[in-house]
Structure 1
Amino acid sequence: MEEFNVQKQSSLKADKWTRRVLSLHPKLGIAAITDRGRPEDRFHECMRVSSMQIWPQYNKKHVKESFSSMEVMLTVRMKGIPAKVGVREKQSATGPVKIYRYTMKGPEAEKHTWMLRFNNYEDFEKAVNLVQSMQTVENNSLVRYGETHRPEEGCEGVADEVEVEEFLPRPVMYGNVEDELAPIRAQWQQARPK
């Protein structure tokens, strides 16, 4: 799973943000976030991502800051069905590999909605591209298994196999992501100290 340091908006106070760690598994379409006081609890709250909006797609009412500010441009609105994630290790010829598993309720379940703010454009863009590569699963209560990458010395990494069935493809993000990112990237480059 890829991890990012983010700030999560309080569900009770729109102007209160707390530091969290966001984990994304694009092959399974899972997002997990830590508890605000316990960064070691990587799967405190998890969801099977069903949609994500980036600036300016989400409504202005979801943020208190100036809608044209850089911090708002680095904010996403993510929705999904609550899920429980489990991890187990499996031995392979090259060493232990983490296998991620999740279960979720049906699509009628109440959805999680997170407002997440990234600390820099590079993490923001990487996370957006990971989420964009996800596909949703509709009308199924499912258990899925996925791969993890193991860094190998002198190599990019080694991947274990994935067991994922019956995806009904539907994009998590709509529109041309590169076009949507262009004004945010330009603003970030302009705002960065030279």
Structure 2
Amino acid sequence: MFVASCITVSWAVYTVSACVGVSQNLGYLTLGSLRRIPLFRAVDQGPLLAETPCCKVRYRSGEDLGLDMHTDDSDVTMNLCLGLEFAGAGLQFCGMVGATDHRKHCYTYYHKKGTCVIHLGRRRHGADDITSGERLNLILWNHSSTYRASDESENPDYLIEEGPPDAVCVSYTHDRDFGNFKVWAWGFRV
């Protein structure tokens, strides 16, 4: 079952012009927002802090178009769409790291300006290619030191896949068997 949450952010309170130095202020948004979302009680065994700087990502023609399927080095990721005008660039979600369905598609999210999608960092996800325009997002990774010290985090289960993966969930960066399910681009293998 896929669960994520979306919140609409007040632009009057949280304006962002650059990422340097704003992660501490965004931490207040993070803590206040996440405490109300049942999904994140699993990692809410202690303080949930924005310990790393946030980053801005941009997708547009002639530059980065999308992002390969991956997981984040966070316990909870906040992905806030800043705009601009764009088409395409859906956010594909697959299973959790180590689960039997970790390469099975479970949800496609379409970004909307001013909306933040929040998900567990260990959920596999990737951004489809943008088809027109430009999309800017602010990404904030949150960590729970208590959760990271737990047995669930330190010794996760890695189960055998339940069957062949869904093509959208296969990663050319992280999956050795990529070529069995998709054609290698650029004429070479990683």
**Coarse TM-score class (shorter-chain normalised):** under 0.3
The normalised TM-score by structure 2 is 0.26
Looking at both structures, which has the greater relative contact order when contacts are Cα pairs under 8 Å and sequence separation is at least 6?
Answer: 2
- Structure with greater proportional strand content: 1
- TM-score of the pair, normalised by structure 1: 0.26
